[in-house]
């Protein structure tokens, strides 16, 4: 691999994943990853632009930011690109009224959205809300539409909580895709549109931006396919086999956010 100076040259903006990079979720709200509170503070004092790009869809952006601030992170709602607000924009643009199969924690994001007489379905990580009855209702709504439209907030397979592996939204999206013979529109990483909207909001071109995440596919591959660079941290859902992924190679692998910030402050925008 080239030297870090070469790999990070010209970086002007940093997109940060949240879960697994800033903190680990779990019972009682989770805990910061050691060094990440201070690393984020240093990054924000630098010349580099910073934005957060998350697939979190069990919590509203306000609740997520409130939780992170209580953990000590310097973050505000306006700095976060998240699937639920992005979906609301799309629904408004296209005049769509969703049936919502979502977690109660994120329902407030859709307060301004007309959900009467639905003409599409929005599915997000609903956790225990993925009952047979709720899945069947979403299925029936889709089957009654002439052109069934399904939005999936991310398409992750599973995530890790302190209690063990938990099914994410992806398997349930696959279930509805198979049941209805359709393909969902994914809002969230690794969708290129989602990364592009984060870049627009940060006002940085793709070739001047770098993504830092723990997911070799959702974060690293997704960002690279948009023309960005990407670092993978060895925290969160990172697995050693990720460094030998058959198709994806990060622009660098670092121990954690603190190491990534050290390298960026030393080498970026030179």
CA distances from 144 to 3, 90, 94, 110 (A): 57, 22, 19, 23
Choosing from 21, 43, 124, 126, the residue that interacts with a copy of itself (CB under 8 A) is: 126
In the region spanning residues 139 to 158, those forming contacts with a copy of itself, defined by CB under 8 A, are: 139-140, 143, 157-158
CB of 225 to a copy of itself, least distance (A): 19
In the region spanning residues 174 to 193, those forming contacts with a copy of itself, defined by CB under 8 A, are: 174-181
CB of 175 to a copy of itself, least distance (A): 4
CB of 177 to a copy of itself, least distance (A): 8
CB burial class (10 A; 0-12, 13-18, 19+) of residue 247?
exposed
Give the nearer residue to a copy of itself in terms of CB position, either 186 or 209. Answer: 186
Choosing from 76, 136, 162, 266, the residue that interacts with a copy of itself (CB under 8 A) is: 136
Give the nearer residue to a copy of itself in terms of CB position, either 90 or 167. Answer: 167
Cα–Cα distance for residue pair 233/91, rounded to 1 Å: 34
In the region spanning residues 183 to 242, those forming contacts with a copy of itself, defined by CB under 8 A, are: none
Asked if 212 and 251 touch (Cβ cutoff 8 Å), the reply is no
Cα–Cα distance for residue pair 12/204, rounded to 1 Å: 7
- What is the secondary structure of 93-111 as a DSSP string? HTT--EEEE--GGGGGGGT
Residue 131 lies near a copy of itself (rule: CB under 8 A): yes
**What number of helices (H) and strands (E) belong to the chain?**
9, 14
Cα angle value 43/44/45 (rounded, 5°)? 90
Number of residues that bind a copy of itself (CB under 8 A): 31
| Collapsed DSSP state (helix, strand, coil) of residue 185 | strand
CB of 172 to a copy of itself, least distance (A): 6
CB of 184 to a copy of itself, least distance (A): 12
- What is the secondary structure of 44-83 as a DSSP string? HHSSSEEEEE----SS-HHHHHHHHHHTT----GGGEE-H
Residue 246 lies near a copy of itself (rule: CB under 8 A): no
Cα–Cα distance for residue pair 203/189, rounded to 1 Å: 19
CB of 259 to a copy of itself, least distance (A): 27
Which stretch, 5-13, 22-30, 46-54, 122-130, contacts a copy of itself (CB under 8 A)?
122-130
Which stretch, 72-80, 168-176, 203-211, 250-258, contacts a copy of itself (CB under 8 A)?
168-176
Residue 135 lies near a copy of itself (rule: CB under 8 A): yes
Cα–Cα distance for residue pair 53/94, rounded to 1 Å: 23
Residues in contact with a copy of itself by the rule CB under 8 A: 126-133, 135-136, 139-140, 143, 157-158, 164-168, 170-172, 174-181
């Amino acid at each position: 691999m080239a030297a870090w100076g070469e790999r990070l040259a010209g970086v002007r903006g940093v997109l940060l994943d949240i879960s697994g990079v800033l903190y680990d979720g779990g019972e009682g709200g989770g805990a910061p990853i050691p060094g990440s509170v201070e690393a984020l503070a240093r990054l924000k004092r630098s010349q580099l632009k910073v934005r957060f790009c998350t697939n979190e869809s069990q919590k509203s952006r306000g609740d997520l930011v409130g939780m992170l601030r209580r953990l000590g992170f310097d973050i505000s709602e306006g700095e976060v690109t998240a699937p639920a607000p992005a979906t609301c924009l799309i629904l408004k643009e296209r005049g769509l009224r969703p049936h919502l199969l979502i977690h109660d924690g994120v329902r407030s994001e859709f307060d301004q959205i007309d959900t009467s007489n639905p003409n599409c379905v929005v599915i997000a990580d609903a956790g225990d809300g993925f009952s047979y009855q709720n899945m069947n209702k979403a299925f029936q709504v889709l089957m009654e539409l002439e052109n069934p439209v399904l939005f999936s907030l991310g398409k992750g397979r599973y995530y890790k909580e302190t209690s063990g592996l938990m099914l994410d939204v992806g398997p349930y999206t696959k279930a509805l895709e198979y049941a209805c013979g359709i393909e969902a529109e994914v809002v969230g990483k690794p969708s290129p549109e989602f990364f592009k909207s984060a870049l627009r909001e940060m006002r940085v071109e793709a070739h001047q931006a770098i993504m830092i995440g723990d997911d070799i596919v959702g974060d690293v591959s997704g960002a690279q396919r948009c023309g960005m660079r990407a670092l993978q941290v060895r925290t969160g859902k990172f697995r050693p086999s990720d460094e030998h992924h058959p198709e994806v190679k990060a622009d660098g692998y670092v121990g954690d956010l603190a190491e990534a910030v050290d390298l960026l402050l030393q080498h970026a925008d030179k």
